[in-house]
C-alpha cells in the first residue's frame, strides 16, 4: 500500500513539475524569439532604407535624361554630384537602347561599357521585365563584368517621339556593391550580440535560395525571418542564436530538481504511510494506559521527521536566528546555496553571509526587526558565499514566536534570484541601447502603440517639427492630439481642421507602411516614412531633405536655363518649341517663331566692357518677357541672339502672319527704347551709360504639317540674316513657306506704333 501511495505521489509530482517546467520554457523561448525578431527588424529596416534611398538615384538620373530629350552631355559631373547623396550607390550608368554607354566613376569599371543589359544572361530577365512593365527592377545580386558582387537597379526611360507616342530610350542604372551596401544595416552587431544571420533571396530563375551575406556557413536553427520587400523579388534577413534557443543547462537543472523533489515527496509519502501503519500496530500492542502517550509520541516524531524532510528538500534556503542574530537552524538548501557545511552555518552570525558592502545595512534592519520596530522585511540583497563569490537573493524575514507568544528570534527565507537579476540587467542594457539609437538617429523618430498613443520619441522629432514642450506635458499624448496641433497651425493647408484630423487618424489606424514628402510652412521639406510593428502601432521616421531638393532644383536650372538672363536655354527651347508645334497639330492654330539679333551690341562691349553688355542682355530679356504672354516662350541661344515662340495665332495663315508682324513690331519698338545702364568701374564708381540699340528679327509662321523644329529655326535664322543684310532694325519673314509674300501683301501689319499691345 505504501509503495502504491508513494508511486502515485511521485507520478503526480512529476506531472506537476513537468507542466510547470514546460510552461516556463515555452514562455522563455517565446520571449527570446520576440526579442530577436525586434532586433533583426531594426537591422532589416536600416538595410531596406539604404537600398531604397540608393534606388531613388535612378529616378533623378532618368529625369535629367528626359529633360535632355535623351541626352545628358555632362553626365560625369551630374553623377559626381548625385553619388554623395546616395551612400550605398557606388556606380551610376546610362544605357541607351539597353547598352551601357556612360558609367561613373569610369575608373576600374571600363569593362562594363558596351554591356547589353537586354542580352547579357545575368541581366536579360530583369532588364526585359523593366522595359516591358515600365517599372524599376532590382537585378541580382550577381557577379559584375568589372569584378565584384553587386545588385543592379534598372529603370526604363521612355521619351516622347515627334508624334507624342512614347518610345523606349534605354535604362538608367544604379549599382549597389556588396558588402558596401550592408554597412548601414550594422549586421556585425548581430554577431556581437550572439546571433548568426543569413541575408538571402529566392533566385527568380531557379527558385533556389541564394545567400547574399551570412555570418556563418552553418545552417540556422529555427531562425526568425524579416522580409525586405524590393522591386522584382524580396530578400529575407534570418537570424538565430549561436547557442540555440532556450537554456538546455537550466532545463536540465530544473528537470533534476523536479525529479528530486518528486522522489523526496514520494519517499515522504511512503514514510508517512509506513509510520501510520506502524502506529496502528503499536496501538494494538501497547496497553490502554500508555496508548495516549504512545500516540502523542508517534505523532510528534512523525511531525518532526516530516518537518526535517520538507525543510531539507525545499528549493529555498530556510533558517532561524536567535535574538543575538546568530544562525540556530538551517536546511540543506541553505548550505548548498552558500557553500558551507551545515555544521559551520550553525552559530554563524547572519550578517556574515551578506556582501561586505551591504553588511552594515543588513545588521541595522535585523536589529530593527528584532526590536519589533518593523514587523517583517522583504529585500533583494547581494550575499557572500564561502568561496568569496556573490549572488543575488531575495530575503523574506519575520519575527519567530512559539505557541506561548514568546519571541525566540527571526525566521528567514532566501530565494536565489541571480538569473532574474541578470535578465533585468540585460533588458535594461537593451533599453539603454535602443534609447541611444533613437536619440542619435539623424532625424526625428516617433513610436505609436496600438491605441495610437505616443510611447517614444527623440529630441529631433520635437525640434524638426517645432513642437512646444507644453504639448508633451499632456498625459497619454496621442496621434490625434499631434495632428490637431499641426492642423491648427496650418501644417496641412487650408480646410476644416476636424475633417483633416479625422481623415489622417483613420488612415493611421490601418497600420500600413507609408512614405511621402511634406513641405512645411517654413519651407523645409521632410521625407516621412513609417513601418508597422508587431502587435500594433508603428514607428515613423522624419528626414529633412530640403538641401537635397534644392540641389535637384539647382541641377535643373543649370541644365535648362541661361545663367545670366534666367531665360530658357537652347535645350529647353527645343522642348517648348516641340510642344508648340504639337499644339498646332491638335488645335489647327498657327504659331510664330522669331529669331532676334541685337544691332549695335558689339560697340557697347568694346566701349564699356562686358559688364555693360551683360546688363544690356538682362534688360533685353526683361523687355522681351513683357512683350509676350506667360504661356509664350522667350529663350537666349547665346551672345546677343534671342528666340521668341508664340502660339494660338489664327487658323488662317495670312491672318497669323499679320498677327506675328504686330508682335514683332511691338518687340522691336520695346527694344529700341533707350537703355540706362549702371556701369561699375574698377575704382568702384558707378556711371549711368545711355545706350541705344535695335534688333533685326526673322519671323516664320508655322504649323505642324509644314516642317520640323530644325526647319523652322533654320528658316527664321535665314530671315533674320536677310534683315541684317538689308540695313538692320528690320523685320523679315521667311520665304520658305510663302510667308514673305503674305507679309508684303499685308505690310500695314508692320506699322505698329510704339506701345501697341497684342
The model's confidence at residue 281, banded by pLDDT at 50, 70 and 90, is confident
| Residue 622 near residue 559 (C-beta atoms within 8 A) | no
d(CA 157, CA 78): 17
CA-CA distance, 137 to 654, in Å (whole number)? 53
Whether pLDDT at 492 is above 70: yes
* 50's grid cell: 539604404
644 vs 291, higher pLDDT: 644
Catalytically annotated residues? 640
Residues 118 and 96: their CA atoms lie apart, in Å, by 11
Given pLDDT bands bounded at 50, 70 and 90, which one contains residue 307?
low
Residue 523, Ramachandran bin (φ over 0: left; ψ between -120 and 50: alpha; else beta): left
Confidence tier at 214 by pLDDT (50, 70, 90): confident
Provide mean pLDDT across the span 1-19: 85
Question: Residue 369, Cβ neighbours under 10 Å: how many?
Answer: 21
Per-residue pLDDT at 300:
67
Residue 238: strand, helix, or coil: strand
State the CB neighbour count (10 A cutoff) for residue 389.
9
- Give pLDDT tens digits for 618-673: 999 999 999 999 999 999 988 889 999 999 999 999 999 999 999 999 999 999 99
Task: Please give the pLDDT value at position 737.
Answer: 57
| pLDDT of 431 above 80 | no
Q: How confident is the model at residue 748 (pLDDT cuts 50, 70, 90)?
A: very low
Give residue-wise pLDDT tens across range 246-255. 777 777 888 8
pLDDT for 747 equals 41
Most confident option among 60-74, 558-572, 682-696, 711-725: 711-725
The 10s digit of each residue's pLDDT in 725-735 is 888 789 999 87
Mean pLDDT of 389-416: 84
Task: State residue 661's pLDDT score.
Answer: 94
Percent of the chain with pLDDT over 90: 24
- Average pLDDT (526-543) is 88
Amino acid 188: pLDDT: 83
Q: Is the pLDDT of residue 292 over 70?
A: no
pLDDT of residue 620: 93
Give the integer Cα–Cα distance in Å for 528 and 518.
8
Greater confidence, 751 or 420? 420
Q: What is the mean pLDDT of residues 518-528?
A: 86
Q: Which of 2-6, 284-288, 540-544 has the highest mean pLDDT?
A: 540-544
Beta bridge partners, 237, equal 199, 226
Q: What is the mean pLDDT of residues 112-129?
A: 89
Give the best-scoring range by mean pLDDT among 237-246, 535-544, 691-700. Answer: 691-700
Confidence of residue 683 (pLDDT cuts 50, 70, 90): low
Q: Provide the phi-psi class of 537: left if phi over 0, else alpha when psi is between -120 and 50, else beta.
A: left
- Section 324-349 average pLDDT: 89
Least confident of 122-136, 654-668, 675-689: 675-689
Question: Looking at residue 319, what is its pLDDT?
Answer: 87
How far is the first Cα of the chain from the last one, in angstroms, to the nearest whole number? 121
pLDDT at residue 296, as a whole number: 66
Give CA–CA dist 530/504, Å, rounded.
Answer: 14
In the DSSP assignment, the letter for residue 226 is E
Rounded Cα distance between 550 and 543, Å, is: 15
Q: Tell whether the model's pLDDT for residue 541 goes beyond 50.
A: yes
pLDDT (0 to 100) of residue 718:
94
534: cell is 508587431
Give the per-residue pLDDT at 216: 81
Q: Give the Cβ contact number of residue 483 at 10 Å.
A: 21
Please check the confidence at residue 577 and state whether its pLDDT lies above 60: yes
Alpha helices (runs of H) in 83-165, residue ranges in sequence order: 124-133
Q: Which of 51-60, 125-134, 141-150, 671-680 has the lowest mean pLDDT?
A: 141-150
pLDDT number for residue 753: 33
Q: Per-residue confidence at 740, pLDDT binned at 50, 70, 90?
A: very low
314-345: string of b/e by CB count within 10 Å (b at 16+)? beebbbbbbeebbbbbbbebbbebbebeeeeb
pLDDT at 7: 87
Contacts of 537 (CB under 8 A, 6+ apart): 447, 448, 449, 450, 452, 455, 511
Q: How far is CA 736 from CA 596, 699, 730, in A?
A: 18, 11, 18
Going 708 to 710 to 714 to 717, the CA torsion angle's sign is positive
Residue that wins the pLDDT comparison between 755 and 157: 157
Q: Which helix (H) or strand (E) holds 298?
A: helix 288-313
d(CA 213, CA 234): 15
For 56-84, letters b (16+ CB in 10 Å) and e give bbbebbbbbbbbbeeebeebeebbebbbe
In angstroms, rounded to a whole number, what is the distance separating the alpha carbons of residues 720 and 733?
Answer: 8
Summarize pLDDT for 701-720 with one digit per residue, the tens.
999 878 888 999 999 999 99
Q: Which three cell numbers stand for residue 115?
A: 554591356
Closest of 440, 482, 478, 486 to residue 459, by C-alpha? 440
* Pair type for strands 633-638 and 641-646: antiparallel
Identify whether the C-beta of residue 716 lies closer than 8 Å to the C-beta of residue 617: no
Query: Distance (Å, rounded) from C-alpha 671 to C-alpha 551?
Result: 35
Average pLDDT, the chain: 84
Cβ contacts of 586 within 8 Å, gap of 6 or more:
none
At a CB cut-off of 8 Å and minimum separation 6, what does 578 contact?
162, 709
Q: Taking 50 as the threshold, does the pLDDT of residue 756 lie above it?
A: no
How many distinct helices (H) and strands (E) make up the chain? 20, 26
3-state secondary structure 594-622: EEEEEECCHHHHHHHCHHHHHHHHHHHHH
Of 212-216, 556-560, 614-618, which has the strongest mean pLDDT? 614-618
Amino acid at each position: 500500500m505504501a509503495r502504491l501511495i508513494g508511486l502515485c505521489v511521485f507520478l503526480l509530482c512529476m506531472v506537476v513539475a513537468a507542466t510547470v517546467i514546460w510552461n516556463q520554457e515555452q514562455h522563455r523561448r517565446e520571449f527570446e524569439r520576440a526579442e530577436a525578431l525586434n532586433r533583426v527588424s531594426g537591422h532589416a529596416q536600416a538595410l531596406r532604407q539604404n537600398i531604397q534611398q540608393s534606388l531613388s538615384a535612378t529616378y533623378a538620373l532618368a529625369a535629367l535624361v528626359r529633360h535632355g530629350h535623351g541626352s545628358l552631355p555632362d553626365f560625369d559631373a551630374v553623377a559626381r554630384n548625385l553619388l554623395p547623396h546616395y551612400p550605398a550607390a557606388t556606380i551610376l550608368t546610362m544605357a541607351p537602347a539597353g547598352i551601357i554607354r556612360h558609367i561613373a566613376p569610369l575608373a576600374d569599371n571600363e569593362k562594363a561599357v558596351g554591356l547589353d543589359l537586354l542580352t547579357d544572361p545575368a541581366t536579360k530577365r530583369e532588364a526585359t521585365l523593366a522595359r516591358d512593365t515600365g517599372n524599376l527592377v532590382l537585378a541580382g545580386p550577381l557577379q559584375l563584368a568589372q569584378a565584384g558582387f553587386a545588385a543592379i537597379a534598372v529603370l526604363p526611360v521612355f521619351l516622347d517621339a515627334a508624334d507624342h507616342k512614347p518610345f523606349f530610350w534605354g535604362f538608367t542604372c544604379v549599382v549597389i556593391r556588396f558588402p558596401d551596401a550592408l554597412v548601414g544595416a550594422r549586421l556585425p552587431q548581430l554577431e556581437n550580440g550572439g546571433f548568426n544571420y543569413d541575408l538571402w533571396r529566392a533566385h527568380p530563375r531557379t527558385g533556389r535560395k541564394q545567400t547574399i551575406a551570412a555570418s556563418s556557413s552553418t545552417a540556422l536553427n529555427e531562425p526568425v525571418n524579416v522580409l525586405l520587400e524590393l522591386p522584382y523579388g524580396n530578400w529575407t534577413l534570418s537570424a538565430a542564436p549561436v547557442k540555440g534557443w532556450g537554456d538546455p543547462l537550466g532545463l536540465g537543472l530544473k528537470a533534476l530538481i523536479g525529479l528530486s523533489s518528486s522522489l523526496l515527496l514520494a519517499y515522504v509519502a511512503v514514510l508517512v504511510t509506513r509510520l501510520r501503519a506502524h502506529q496502528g500496530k503499536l496501538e494494538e500492542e501497547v496497553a490502554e494506559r500508555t496508548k495516549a502517550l504512545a500516540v502523542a509520541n508517534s505523532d510528534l516524531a512523525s511531525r518532526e521527521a516530516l518537518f526535517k524532510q520538507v525543510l531539507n528538500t525545499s528549493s529555498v534556503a530556510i533558517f532561524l536566528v536567535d535574538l543575538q542574530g546568530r544562525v540556530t537552524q538551517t536546511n540543506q538548501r541553505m548550505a548548498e546555496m552558500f557553500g558551507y557545511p551545515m555544521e559551520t552555518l550553525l552559530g554563524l552570525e547572519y550578517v556574515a553571509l551578506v556582501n561586505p558592502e551591504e553588511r552594515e545595512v543588513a545588521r541595522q534592519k535585523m536589529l530593527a526587526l528584532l526590536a519589533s520596530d518593523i514587523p517583517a522585511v522583504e529585500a533583494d540583497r547581494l550575499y557572500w558565499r564561502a568561496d568569496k563569490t556573490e549572488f543575488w537573493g531575495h530575503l523574506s524575514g519575520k519575527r519567530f514566536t512559539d505557541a506561548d507568544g514568546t519571541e525566540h528570534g527571526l525566521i528567514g527565507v532566501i530565494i536565489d534570484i541571480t538569473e532574474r537579476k541578470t535578465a533585468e540587467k540585460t533588458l535594461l542594457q537593451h533599453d539603454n541601447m535602443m534609447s541611444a539609437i533613437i536619440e542619435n538617429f539623424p532625424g526625428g523618430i516617433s513610436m505609436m502603440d496600438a491605441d495610437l498613443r505616443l510611447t517614444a520619441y527623440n529630441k529631433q522629432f520635437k525640434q524638426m517639427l517645432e513642437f512646444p514642450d507644453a504639448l508633451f506635458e499632456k498625459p497619454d499624448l496621442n496621434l490625434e492630439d499631434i495632428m490637431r496641433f499641426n492642423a491648427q497651425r496650418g501644417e496641412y493647408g487650408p480646410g476644416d481642421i476636424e475633417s483633416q484630423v479625422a481623415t489622417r487618424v483613420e488612415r493611421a489606424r490601418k497600420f500600413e507602411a507609408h512614405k511621402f514628402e511634406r513641405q512645411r510652412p517654413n519651407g523645409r521639406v521632410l521625407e516621412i516614412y513609417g513601418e508597422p510593428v508587431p502587435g500594433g502601432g508603428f514607428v515613423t521616421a522624419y528626414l529633412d531633405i530640403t538641401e537635397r531638393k534644392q540641389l535637384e532644383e539647382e541641377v535643373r536650372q543649370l541644365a535648362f536655363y541661361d545663367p545670366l538672363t534666367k531665360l530658357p536655354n537652347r535645350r529647353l527651347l527645343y522642348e517648348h518649341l516641340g510642344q508648340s508645334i504639337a499644339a498646332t497639330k491638335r488645335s489647327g492654330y498657327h504659331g510664330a517663331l522669331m529669331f532676334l539679333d541685337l544691332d549695335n551690341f558689339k560697340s557697347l562691349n568694346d566701349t564699356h566692357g562686358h559688364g555693360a553688355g551683360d546688363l544690356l542682355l538682362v534688360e533685353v530679356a526683361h523687355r522681351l518677357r513683357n512683350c509676350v504672354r506667360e504661356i509664350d516662350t522667350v529663350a537666349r541661344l547665346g551672345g546677343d541672339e534671342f528666340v521668341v515662340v508664340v502660339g494660338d495665332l489664327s487658323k488662317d495663315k495670312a491672318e497669323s502672319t499679320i498677327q506675328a508682324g504686330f508682335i514683332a513690331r511691338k518687340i522691336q519698338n520695346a527694344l529700341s527704347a533707350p537703355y540706362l545702364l549702371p556701369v561699375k568701374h574698377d575704382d568702384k564708381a558707378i556711371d549711368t551709360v545711355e545706350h541705344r540699340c535695335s534688333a533685326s528679327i526673322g519671323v516664320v509662321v508655322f504649323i505642324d504639317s509644314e516642317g520640323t523644329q530644325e526647319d523652322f529655326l533654320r528658316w527664321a535664322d535665314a530671315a533674320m540674316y536677310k534683315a541684317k543684310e538689308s540695313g538692320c532694325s528690320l523685320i523679315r519673314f521667311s520665304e520658305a513657306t510663302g510667308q514673305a509674300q503674305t507679309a508684303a501683301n499685308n505690310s500695314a501689319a508692320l506699322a505698329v506704333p510704339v506701345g501697341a499691345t497684342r
